[in-house]
Amino acid sequence: MADFATLIDDAEVIVCCGSGGVGKTTTAAVLGLEAARTGRRVVVVTIDPARRLADALGLADGLAAEPQRIDLAGSPGVAASGELWAMMLDTEATFDGLVHRFAEDERQVERILSNPLYRNMAGAMSGTQEYMAAETLHALHGDDRFDLVVVDTPPSRNALDFLEAPGVLARFLDHRAFKLLMLPTKTGLKVLGSAAQPLLKAIGRIVGSDVLADSVAFFQAFSGMESGFHDRADEVVALIRAPETSFVVVAAPRHDAIDEAVWFAEQLVEQGVGVRAAVINRMQPAFGVGSAGDAAGETAAASDPVVAALWANVAELRTLREQEQAVISPLVDIAGADAVATLPLLDSDVHDLDGLWTIAAHLFRDADPISPSG
């Protein structure tokens, strides 16, 4: 399919997004593999700790937080310059790295890293995973070893989470609550008394006073780093929205998953980012050219019960396929028929590099034709 070939040829960053369990990680790996075949130096970043992908890529010890080179020696037809690297997102280590980068000295780093509130935020705050995925993507984009970064996003209902996440900490530090807490270090306790005291009391009543003390220490520890985080977040957001970054929406052929994907795509279009391509995974394969109705007719007409059972099987498989084709049409409409690829449900699980190559072959050389009308 021409559009997918152009995509892996000209993109510098590919972001695979969609709801959970639709095959984002596998799609990211397949795009990376094919790009490496055509001679690009690719790094695939996954947020999915699934053992299966590491196995499929031949990484016996699993995916690490540092890029590891994948051995493509056994894969014929890979261009000499082509390289595939893979890594897993490490949210906390990435966040720690940012603190190191923007802190004024080691003492400030220590104060922040040892604060329980910081540990909570690095590990659990909503949006942190998206933020660090975007941050990692930015860092890899600037890394000379790679000329294409493929990333799968955390499963999310909201495409905006990924676009807006880099601003989360900047906004958090910018917050009025934070400003109020910061006042004591700048102008003395009197101001704290009049402006922030009720706020602190209320927070303390809800979460307990020891937690509150950690919070105050946390905000004070970040003092001076706000502009560093701000500027970096702006750069990351600019890269995500830049023309060299392409979004690929991944979906499954069920009406709820397609609804989600369409909603995702609409948000991206609204944000001026747009959807470069869509992949619909695990479609029922076609058997012959007729309809489910034709097969049901053959079933009824067959005099041999074995032949009737075989036709009944075809009728069931075609019924599902027809349903799926009807269901995917809204996504085909929004992404454009040329930019949508459907990948067939395979008769076995993907568990090695050959399995990934099989999917790549379907995606790039043998894509299932789309009938926009369903």
Partner 1 sequence: MLVVELDGKPTLDQLVCGSTVDARGDTDDDAAGAGDTGIDVVHLSAADALDEYLRDHGFGRIAKRLNKTGVIDMVGTAAPGIDDVVVLGKIKQYERSGSYDLVVVDGPAAGHAITFLTSAAGLANAVRGGPVKTQSDDVLELLADEARCQVVLVTLPETTPVNEVIETAFALEEEVGVRLGPVVVNAVDVGVALPAPEAGAAAVEPLPADDADLLLAAAAFRRSRRQMEHDELARLTRELPLAQVHLGARPVAGLLAEDIEALVDDVFGAPDDPRASAGG
Interface with partner 1 (CB under 8 A): 20-21, 50-52, 117, 120-121, 123-126, 155, 157, 168, 171-172, 175-177, 198-199, 202-203, 205-208, 210-212, 214-215, 253-257, 285, 287-288, 298, 304, 306-307, 309-314, 316-317, 319-320, 323-324, 326-327, 345, 347-349
Rounded to a whole number of angstroms, the minimum distance from the CB of residue 374 to partner 1 is 11
Question: What tokens were used for 263?
Answer: 């909603």
Q: Which of 106, 304 has the CB closer to partner 1?
A: 304
Rounded to a whole number of angstroms, the minimum distance from the CB of residue 197 to partner 1 is 11
Q: Which of 67, 253 has the CB closer to partner 1?
A: 253
Rounded to a whole number of angstroms, the minimum distance from the CB of residue 207 to partner 1 is 4
Residue 374's nearest CA partner among 339, 337, 338 is: 337
Q: Which of 105, 347 has the CB closer to partner 1?
A: 347
Q: Which of 64, 124 has the CB closer to partner 1?
A: 124
Q: For residue 16, how many other CB atoms are within 10 A of its CB? A: 27
Residue 180's nearest CA partner among 164, 207, 209, 203 is: 203
Is residue 274 within 8 Å of residue 247, measured between CB atoms? yes
Rounded to a whole number of angstroms, the minimum distance from the CB of residue 126 to partner 1 is 7
Q: Which of 12, 316 has the CB closer to partner 1?
A: 316
In sequence order, what are the beta bridge partners of 16?
Answer: 152, 248
Rounded to a whole number of angstroms, the minimum distance from the CB of residue 19 to partner 1 is 9
Residue 135's nearest CA partner among 151, 123, 146 is: 151
C-alpha gyration radius of the chain: 25
341 Cβ contact partners less than 8 Å away, ≥ 6 residues apart: 1, 4, 277, 278, 279, 280, 362, 363, 367, 368
Question: What tokens were used for 105?
Answer: 């000295």
Is residue 334 within 8 Å of residue 314, measured between CB atoms? no
Rounded to a whole number of angstroms, the minimum distance from the CB of residue 49 to partner 1 is 9
167 Cβ contact partners less than 8 Å away, ≥ 6 residues apart: 233, 237
Residue 341's nearest CA partner among 19, 5, 42 is: 5
Rounded to a whole number of angstroms, the minimum distance from the CB of residue 153 to partner 1 is 15
Q: Which of 231, 287 has the CB closer to partner 1?
A: 287
Q: Which of 11, 121 has the CB closer to partner 1?
A: 121
Considering Cα of 72, then 77, then 80, then 82, what sign does the dihedral take? Answer: negative
Q: Which of 97, 155 has the CB closer to partner 1?
A: 155
Tell me the C-alpha distance between 44 and 26, whole Å. Answer: 10
Q: What are the angstrom distances between the C-alpha of 43 and each of 92, 242, 353? A: 20, 19, 16
Rounded to a whole number of angstroms, the minimum distance from the CB of residue 13 to partner 1 is 26
